[in-house]
Amino acid sequence: MILSRPFIATAIGSFPFDEPEPALDLIFKALPEAPVWPQLPRRGLLEKMEVQYAEGLPRLVVDQTKGRMYFDTSGDHSAEFTAFYELCLAVSEGDEAGVDLSPMAIGPDHSRGIYALEARLKACGNKLPHVKVHTTGPCTFALVTVDENKRAIYYNEEFRDVVVKAMALKSRWQIRKFAPYAEKIICFLDEPILSAFGSSTYIGVQREDVVAMIGEVSQAIRAESALSGVHCCGNTEWSILVEAGVDIINFDAYAYGETVALYPEAVRQHVRRGGALAFGMVPTSAAIHGESVDSLAERYERLVDHLAARTGLDRQALLQATVLTPSCGTGSLDAPEATRVFDLLPQLSERLRSEHS
């Protein structure tokens, strides 16, 4: 078991608040074994999903007046690229723990939540089983972020490599910041764009490139002795994540749970090599109003039965590999709905843990 015990509850990043403290109150009450730092997109552009990780990327422009972000690929960018790749090389070939990653830090203007969580963990004074951090996945970042001509930067191989390596460094920086407060850090890559993989919109996106991009960032996370995970809140080709070597696959089990069973060989390989499945059992939609701990527990049990039947895995192996999360972030909900999500989640964790101890 790669985590401290089964049925640990944690969260996806976003919360519907303007300040971190109300979010952290929810987090520490609901997620005592694996708290997260809250993303607060309602604070403005700098805390949006991709822009939050913009600092330090060469030739990346954040235009707050126009509310957009893009890479300027024009002109000579050799000097900026040289400095960036020197940092990458120092991390990969040098004394990794001793390399200064401050050039790729996420500053307080881009995340109030990181520094508020750090302060609260310092005040707690004890080491937790886990702390979860999160980074926008390289595929999502590269396909959503454009160049000066509004073309997705994914299709520029030179800049795409910068994105991959930058997301790896952002992940490393977070892991090192929170390592003193946890026995094992969990770092998720948020990859919502994977739900569109294979569609006509992204027909030029190659499967082997997706595997390589996620795999490179995942390897960087594991090099920091942390656990790598990927969150996708829609249906996707789940075998991609297994091939990329991630430790935790996080899926919207409430709406898309049975789609994971369409890849029985990949799921079987993942679980047998010690990987975890993070079931997004608590819906982050209007459906939250119609659910209870009983109904969610019943849904989980049916899903585990289905997975066991399709994969041939022992049911106990799936139970032992279970992490619990909301189906997605709660940033699009209102505060009472988010509160209900984080009321149900720890109750579900305790219910399943007591029934399957």
Instruction: Give per-residue pLDDT as tens, 267-325.
Output: 999 999 999 999 999 999 999 999 999 999 999 999 999 999 999 999 999 999 999 99
Number of domains in the chain: 1
Which residue in the block uniquely carries the two structure tokens 């964790």? 349
CA 171 to CA 166: how far, in whole Å? 9
Residue 196 located in a structural domain: yes
Greater pLDDT, 96 or 70: 70
Residue 228 located in a structural domain: yes
Mean pLDDT across 3-14? 95
In sequence order, which residues have a C-beta less than 8 Å from that of residue 179 and are 6 or more positions away? Answer: 185, 224, 226
Strand partners, 192: none
DSSP class per residue in 36-57: BPPB-GGG-GGGSTTGGG-TT-
pLDDT attached to residue 281 = 98
User: In this structure, are residues 137 and 145 in contact, taking their beta carbons and an 8 Å threshold?
Assistant: no
Mean pLDDT across 208-226? 97
| pLDDT one-digit tens code per residue, 232-274 | 999 999 999 999 999 999 999 999 999 999 999 999 999 999 9
Which ranges of 149-292 would DSSP assign to H, the alpha helix? 157-178, 207-223, 239-243, 253-256, 264-272
Could you list the residue range(s) of the whole structural domain that residue 288 is in?
Answer: 8-44+107-139+172-355
Residue 88 located in a structural domain: no
| pLDDT one-digit tens code per residue, 37-78 | 999 999 999 999 999 999 999 999 999 999 999 999 999 999
Residue 316 located in a structural domain: yes
pLDDT attached to residue 197 = 86
pTM: 0.96
Which residue in the block uniquely carries the two structure tokens 């995970």? 229
Residue 125 above 90 pLDDT? no
Residues counted in the chain: 357
Residue 98 above 80 pLDDT? no
Q: Give residue 338's region: left, alpha or beta (phi > 0; psi -120 to 50).
A: alpha
Query: Which CA distances in Å does 313 have to 261, 297, 309?
Result: 11, 20, 7
Residue 90 located in a structural domain: no
pLDDT attached to residue 1 = 65
Residue 66 located in a structural domain: no
Which residue in the block uniquely carries the two structure tokens 């403290």? 21
pLDDT attached to residue 95 = 59
pLDDT tier at 139, thresholds 50, 70, 90: very high
In sequence order, which residues have a C-beta less than 8 Å from that of residue 345 and are 6 or more positions away? Answer: 9, 11, 30, 31, 281, 282, 324, 325, 326
Q: What is the CATH number of the domain that holds 17?
A: 3.20.20.210
| pLDDT one-digit tens code per residue, 21-40 | 999 999 999 999 999 999 99
The pLDDT mean for the chain works out to 96
Phi, psi of 165 (to 5 degrees): -70, -30
- Please give the distance of CA 132 from its chain centroid, rounded to a whole number: 9
Residue 96 above 80 pLDDT? no
Identify residue 153 by its one-letter amino acid code: I
Identify residue 3 by its one-letter amino acid code: L
Using DSSP's 3-state secondary structure scheme, residue 76 falls into coil
Residue 102 located in a structural domain: no
Among the listed residues 251, 259, 275, 269, the one whose alpha carbon sits nearest the alpha carbon of residue 324 = 251
Mean pLDDT across 148-161? 97
CA 356 to CA 141: how far, in whole Å? 39
- Please give the distance of CA 227 from its chain centroid, rounded to a whole number: 11
